[in-house]
Structure 1
Amino acid sequence: MEAPALEVAGLGKSFGSVRAVDDLSFRVEPGRVTGFLGPNGSGKTTTLRMLLGLVRPSDGRALVGGRAYADHPVPGALVGAALEATGFHPGRTGAAHLAAYAPQVGADRDRCREVLDLVGLTPAAERKVGGYSLGMRQRLGLATALLADPPALVLDEPANGLDPEGIVWLRGFLRHLASQGRTVLVSSHVLGEVQHTVDDVVVIARGRLVHASSLAELASMAGVRTYVETPDPERFAALCAERGWECAARGAGHEVADVPAAAVGAAAYAAGLELHQLATRGADLEDVFLRLTGAAA
């Protein structure tokens, strides 16, 4: 089955006087992992629910492969979704949960065992879900989404509750799914959770789109940062002020924004200022994310 693009166009949703989603448009392409980002309460989950036919839009369209999700013959076999890690019967085992859901998407018991193994839950398959940790429930939700071996996945905050090892595993697993040509949409309110996983980003705040691009384009907005440690921080701060550089204390040193390390080192040498450390730091994407969403708020 060919992987579908996911698209929302002019999408809006009002709950009484509250405008949860407002004129939202973006597209998610197959073969890529797209991060759907925004602060808590920004409208991400409402948007995903409209995409999956669980909430009726007030305005606009939400499409899967050019059609509404509910218009597909077996929508659950086309898009695997995990929107929350709480929708499980606590008295059922993990294996029993999958066995109950499998017939709805045409999966058999062999596939249930296969997806349990894929997400690392085979040792806990016969334990009741009520005793699962949040991270284990996240894995069970992912296993449920994968039952039909769908060409598209929609995951709401899938890293929530995972330990560091689990987050690393999730990153590699999502990259693997995209490499197979699948469409993968992953929401998060923390860019740092997904920045090592995604190819593209869609950022919303207060229900409106504030940015959509590749991750590389977003990183280019962060600019360069140079970290400096010196035994004479007061003279270094004065040098920055003299040059008109934006400089802030960071840990044991200072960080200079948008000035290459070579330029900072040359200026310090010319001023006879001793440096103990001079390094270029990677783009701080979280700062860009906070700036985008903060400006919208």
Structure 2
Amino acid sequence: MDGPRIEVAGLTKRYGDVLAVDAVSFTAEPGRVTGFLGPNGAGKTTTLRSALGLIAPTAGAITFSGRRFSQLPRPAAVVGAHLEPAFHPGRTGRDHLRTLAPLAGVPDSRCDEVLAMVGLADAAGRRVGGYSLGMRQRLGLATALLGDPAALVLDEPANGLDPAGITWMRAFVRSFAARGGTVLLSSHLLAEVEQTVDDVVVIARGRIRHASPLADLHALASPETVLRSPDEAGLRRLVSRWPDALMEDSVTAVIPGTTAAEVGAAAHAAQLEVHGLTERGESLERVFLRMTEEAA
């Protein structure tokens, strides 16, 4: 599989006086999974819909190996997309795909192939109205796969999946990229896709806040210390000196930007009974939240 390079260059979209996306630029490379991350309303779906020609951008462009979606001679063979699920509840899963197969330029037999790929072979004859949210997500992925594309564009693909479904989706996406495909997927939770993506692009309030390989996010993580004490009142008094400290529960506090030595010395001076003192790096999810909160 030879996936296309997806390039977003200076993408801007205005709705009247509202600037939904502001000069967004990033790339998604073949053989890698790129996570497009940001809170709800950050501009993720607007960007993805622009990539597929569903929205006309005010400025800028999105290309697949140099071609816009509208310029692709057979789009379904280049990029498969799953954005907002839209299914007729009275149709079966198989019939839903059969209505789209001619548009993708594939025979009806391809419908059963992709249903098997996403684990819906046994539910192919059931009406979509009786599908769970997770099953509809799988059907949406099957729709994206109809044309045997070299790239996937997925909007919140893990939404509605149970833990087993998330594990399956992660393995499927990783396998697709390992075969040379390009994957661009959005999410509002880094923790949800942390084990899936290779690269991260963080957007907030319509602007890119960070773009790098996932591993580089660790360099932005500041140290934090976890302190445990059975003396809840004393623990709360002690950690009140750090404005960013969080009480995880009545006996556990997390103090960002500190070392165990600093917190331990403060606890000793306050004569606080300590049952646990651990220094660790800030979680990537917290780094992500810090970026988006700073933007807000």
Q: TM-score, normalised by structure 1?
A: 0.89
| C-alpha distance in 2 between matches for 1:290 and 1:246 | 13
Matched position secondary structure for 1:80: strand
1:76 equivalent in alignment to 2:70: no
1:181 is aligned to 180
Contact 1:37 1:203 in 2 (8 A): yes
- Cα distance change on mapping 1:295 and 1:274 into 2, 3 Å: closer
Contact 1:94 1:127 in 2 (8 A): yes
1:46 equivalent in alignment to 2:34: no
| C-alpha distance in 2 between matches for 1:227 and 1:233 | 14
1:98 equivalent in alignment to 2:102: no
Deviations 1:55-85 (A, max 9, x none): 1111011111111111111011100100111
2:150 is aligned to 151
2:284 is aligned to 285
| C-alpha distance in 1 between matches for 2:282 and 2:203 | 21
Deviations 1:184-241 (A, max 9, x none): 0111122221122111111112211111112122233222222121345666677778
- Cα distance change on mapping 1:131 and 1:248 into 2, 3 Å: closer
Contact 1:237 1:247 in 2 (8 A): no
Cα RMSD for the two superposed structures? 2.5
1:289: Cα distance to partner? 2.0
| C-alpha distance in 2 between matches for 1:209 and 1:247 | 28
Contact 1:30 1:183 in 2 (8 A): yes
Contact 2:34 2:184 in 1 (8 A): yes
1:208 equivalent in alignment to 2:207: yes
Amino acid at match of 1:63: T
1:24 is aligned to 24
1:130 is aligned to 129
Matched position secondary structure for 1:101: helix
| C-alpha distance in 2 between matches for 1:260 and 1:295 | 23
- Cα distance change on mapping 1:95 and 1:282 into 2, 3 Å: farther
State the identity as a percent: 58
Amino acid at match of 2:200: V
| C-alpha distance in 1 between matches for 2:248 and 2:44 | 33
| C-alpha distance in 2 between matches for 1:188 and 1:49 | 15
| C-alpha distance in 2 between matches for 1:247 and 1:54 | 44
Q: TM-score, normalised by structure 2?
A: 0.89
Amino acid at match of 2:213: S
Contact 1:245 1:257 in 2 (8 A): no
Q: Which moved more, 1:72-81 or 1:198-207?
A: 198-207
1:89 equivalent in alignment to 2:88: yes
Matched position secondary structure for 1:202: strand
How many residue pairs were aligned?
295
1:197 is aligned to 196
Uncovered stretches (5+) of structure 1, i.e. residues with no partner: none
Report 1:267-286 matches (<5 A): 275-281=274-280, 283-286=282-285
2:247 to 241, 246, 249: 249
Uncovered stretches (5+) of structure 2, i.e. residues with no partner: none
Report 1:112-131 matches (<5 A): 112-131=111-130
| C-alpha distance in 1 between matches for 2:200 and 2:56 | 25
Amino acid at match of 1:80: G
